Amino acid sequence: YRPFEDGTYELNGSLNHYGLGSVGEWFYTGILGIAPDGENVGFQRLLLKPQITGQLSYVRGSYESVYGTVMTGWEHSENGLHYTVTVPANMTAQLILPAAAGHTVTEGNIAIWESSDSEGRIADTESGQSAANGISVTEWKEEMLRMELESGSYDFWIKKRA
């Protein structure tokens, strides 16, 4: 890199350096939360764990995998936190979302999980499985809700209980 007096510059050498790529990686694996699960090879199973912050109002992005496009995003609104994700065919995902005590998690219009002030439960089922297709709630721990997702598109809302 060589600057000139007129404000332009000349680039010599490669710009393909880890220091430049690490910010992009953080957007995908951090804010969007798209990562391989670490136990399966080839991105056939995803780990979706977005780092949701109050400093951003919304985030949307996608990742082109060998199985198809993974799309995800989240947005804060007056109604709560809205999270969308598309898991391509032939893939599965573990999704980890924040779910504080006193909140309800819905997918579409179906309540899949709700909590009182101290404990959470899968909403309105006797089998322990979510009533929403393709979703299996596996754990609520430290105000984080873990779910297993089959391939498909999902539309989650996390709202404070009335």
pLDDT in tens, 49-81: 999 999 999 999 999 999 999 999 999 999 999
Structure tokens that stand for 96 in this block? 């980890």
Q: Which residues contact 113 (CB under 8 A, 6 or more apart)?
A: 99, 104, 105, 120, 121, 122, 123, 130, 137, 140, 145
pTM: 0.81
Q: How far is CA 100 from CA 18, 67, 106, 135, 161, in A?
A: 36, 33, 14, 19, 10
Structure tokens that stand for 43 in this block? 């991105």
Each residue of 2-40: pLDDT tens digit? Answer: 777 887 777 666 666 666 667 778 888 999 999 988 888
